[in-house]
Amino acid sequence: MPVTLIRAGTIWDGVSDAPLGPRDILIKDGFIKEIAENIPVPEGAEVINLHDRMVMPGLIDCHVHLTIRPEISPTFWSHSGSYKALLGAQALRIILMNGFTTVRDVGDMDFHGYTTRDLKIALNQGIIQGPRLVTSGHMISCRGGHMDVTVLLSPYCDTRENCLADGPDEIRTVVRNEIKWGADWIKYAASGGFATPSDDPVEVTYTREEMDTLVATAAALHRPVAAHLHGDDAVRMSVLAGVRSVEHGAMASKETLALIEEKGVYFVPTQYAGVRSARFADSDAYWDEMGASQLMRMKIRKYKDALLETAHHLAKSNVKIAFGTDLGVLSFTINGATEFGEMVANGISPARALRAATSMAAELLMKDDIGTLAPGKCADIIGVPGNPFEDITVMEKVNFVMKAGIVYKQA
Ligand SMILES: [Zn+2]
């Protein structure tokens, strides 16, 4: 691999409260070798001039669904695993070009196979291009719960869905199966959701015994657990059961946020997909543009005040926030970096939002080689045409992308 020297107008390291000023970054064999002012050009090195950009660590999206699109949700069962794999390949390419060099998929939507695992293999073999991929297999759910999509069919259809589990015995089996087929994480639905037809976001869909069994089975096999949840009871029970990350957590109370902070649990708020809908609940234009169902709009309206209140308390808390978009449930025509603007609109500081997608996300994923710019780290590096600490929307204009020392985008 060639030696590369980036000359950056200014850098932000993924941790500091502000950009650090002009620096050069020397990259060798896919890793950062040195960061300093005015590094002499090594013989044979390629020089990349980014003097007009802020250079920072590649972004990390901790909550995507590669194998679904909003358009196909209602006709879910008429699409094959191979079609969903193609959706995944397309999604990975889009995500990388928007500056995300690592993603965690938190719900494989191929309920007969293990497509996100295959996507990861294809990425590692260089068959497709995309970010580093961390997978959680399917979202384990009780029958009738958030991820029981057999509800889209008549009860006369006998459809197999590989992530449904009730009771400790079935839960142990499904967790072990997901791990057997490549899951890095285990994900489960602890509550209903907003977009699904059969459940309500404040319903708790597993007992504490079931949650404890799930977390313990995963822990014995060294897998951390992420939980989908909205209502306060589901959040509190899951935190006490020992999950590593709370996904959405849309209606967590102030007391439960304090518990999350005390336990050191990470919070992935996916606010563009959630709180934004509450902010625009009464705007017909917003709902037409989003193409979301009337059912979802009705549920958002019902819980609007609770959603806004939780967002307010979260911004004021010291909870460890990690960045996630729920792309896949949202259309991939939406740039995931819009989540930054939404977080800032809800009172989260630009520095905290940026750390959520870099150093804090790396901490959640237990990957100490990404998320920051420093010697020895992977050369996952992006450039933006401005200062996101002053205007967070420049994160939607990433115009330089390097992953593991290889340039994928350069304006
Ligand atoms: Zn999701």
Q: Which two structure tokens, joined as six digits, stand for 17? A: 């409260």
Do 68 and 49 belong together in one domain? Answer: no
Domain count, the chain: 2
The pLDDT score that the predictor gives to residue 241 is 98
Decide: pTM greater than 0.85.
yes
Q: How far is the CA of 85 from the centre of ligand 1 (A)?
A: 18
Do 95 and 165 belong together in one domain? Answer: yes
Residue 43 belongs to domain with CATH number: 2.30.40.10
Q: How far is the CA of 273 from the centre of ligand 1 (A)?
A: 9
Q: How far is the CA of 247 from the centre of ligand 1 (A)?
A: 8
DSSP assignment string, 131-194: SEEEE--SEEB-TTSTT-GGGGS-TTS----TTB--HHHHHHHHHHHHHHTT-SSEEEE-B--S
Q: How far is the CA of 169 from the centre of ligand 1 (A)?
A: 25
Residue 378's φ and ψ, nearest 5 degrees, are: -60, 145
Residue 349 belongs to domain with CATH number: 3.20.20.140
Q: How far is the CA of 139 from the centre of ligand 1 (A)?
A: 9
Do 76 and 52 belong together in one domain? Answer: no
Do 248 and 171 belong together in one domain? Answer: yes
Q: How far is the CA of 397 from the centre of ligand 1 (A)?
A: 24
Q: Which residues form the domain of 393?
A: 4-57+371-410
The pLDDT score that the predictor gives to residue 199 is 87
Q: How far is the CA of 350 from the centre of ligand 1 (A)?
A: 23
Q: How far is the CA of 83 from the centre of ligand 1 (A)?
A: 20
Q: How far is the CA of 106 from the centre of ligand 1 (A)?
A: 6
Do 51 and 125 belong together in one domain? Answer: no
Do 9 and 85 belong together in one domain? Answer: no
Q: How far is the CA of 243 from the centre of ligand 1 (A)?
A: 16
Do 404 and 302 belong together in one domain? Answer: no
Q: How far is the CA of 63 from the centre of ligand 1 (A)?
A: 6
The pLDDT score that the predictor gives to residue 97 is 98
Mean per-residue pLDDT pooled into runs of 10, the chain (411 residues): 93 98 98 97 96 98 96 87 97 98 97 96 97 97 92 84 96 98 98 88 97 98 98 98 98 98 98 95 89 87 96 98 96 96 98 98 98 98 98 98 97 80
The pLDDT score that the predictor gives to residue 290 is 81
Q: How far is the CA of 408 from the centre of ligand 1 (A)?
A: 27
Q: Quickly tell me which residue has 């979802």 as its tokens.
A: 296
- Reported as a single tens digit per residue, the pLDDT across 122-155 is 999 999 999 999 999 999 999 999 999 888 888 8
Q: Which two structure tokens, joined as six digits, stand for 270? A: 């996916």
The pLDDT score that the predictor gives to residue 71 is 87
Do 346 and 405 belong together in one domain? Answer: no
Do 73 and 179 belong together in one domain? Answer: yes
Do 175 and 124 belong together in one domain? Answer: yes
The pLDDT score that the predictor gives to residue 301 is 94
Do 396 and 254 belong together in one domain? Answer: no
Do 272 and 389 belong together in one domain? Answer: no
